[in-house]
Amino acid sequence: MTEIKFFASKSFICGAITYLRYRRSMRNAVARLVDTCNAERSKGSDFPTIWRDVLKAHPCVLGQPVQDSGEDGPLLRIPLITGQVLVFLGSHFSLW
């Protein structure tokens, strides 16, 4: 029986660890963004205010909000650099 050995280089392992840490930090940043948006909404802020004060300059936000409609009516989709979409459903924000 032939034995296959895999030897990963130190730079490969360091790169993989760095990538995994980056992904975790991005997930944390997006989760904090959703929490911040929902906290602002619960304080009575409307979408234009949240867009201006929180979302527009956030490093995870990839582009402008796009109007769309869903089962419950109109919504706004905000693309994120993670490939996810932050959705404003009128009453709260959610990740899709």
User: Virtual CA dihedral for 84, 86, 87, 92, nearest 10 degrees?
Assistant: 140
**31 located within any domain:** yes
pLDDT at position 6 is 60
pTM: 0.75
- Cβ atoms of residues 60 and 26 within 8 Å: yes
Distances 63 to 13, 17, 50, 69, 85 between C-alpha atoms, Å: 33, 29, 15, 18, 10
**59 located within any domain:** yes
**5 located within any domain:** no
Provide the domain count of the chain.
1
Look-up: residue for tokens 């992904």?
23
**Structural domain span for residue 68:** 10-95
- Rounded-to-integer distance, Cα 80 and Cα 72, Å: 22
The tokens of 68 are what? 């769309």
pLDDT at position 4 is 61
Q: What is the mean pLDDT of residues 2-18?
A: 64
**4 located within any domain:** no
pLDDT in tens, 22-77: 666 777 899 999 999 999 999 999 999 999 999 999 999 999 999 998 887 899 99
Q: How many CB atoms lie within 10 A of CB 74?
A: 11
Q: What is the mean pLDDT of residues 77-94?
A: 95
